[in-house]
Amino acid sequence: MYRESLGPDVSILWVADADLCQDVFRQEGQQPVHLIPEAWLVQGRRSGRKRGLFFLDGDEWVRWRRAMNPVFVKGDLTNWCANTFNRLFSTLRT
């Protein structure tokens, strides 16, 4: 874990441990409200890209979260991440 400042009004605690991430996800409400730094909103408007799962809200967040629940809550997140990253890195090496 580490803390980072993302501007004058935003301080974020980053978690890189799969078990701690699962604990956080288990404690979220039905539709958690996500902090979105102003710089990320500006970048999204400029690029035309949507925010990722960690910054979605409302019904769109619920839809994507339900799709990810088997991995985030019920599955083995550590192995899933390791397998996914290994596949990604193997494609980058070629």
pLDDT (tens digit, 9 = 90+) per residue, 36-57?
778 778 888 999 887 777 778 8
Give me the domain span that covers residue 38: 2-93
State the amino acid at position 52 in one-letter form: G
Domain count within the chain: 1
Query: Can you tell me the mean pLDDT for 58-84?
Result: 79
How many angstroms separate the CA atoms of 20 and 64, rounded? 20
pTM, entire model: 0.44
| Residue 12 vs residues 7, 27, 39, 75, 77: alpha-carbon distances, Å | 10, 18, 14, 26, 22
Q: What is the spatial distance between Cα 61 and Cα 12, in angstroms, rounded to a whole number? A: 20
Tally: H helices and E strands in the chain: 4, 2
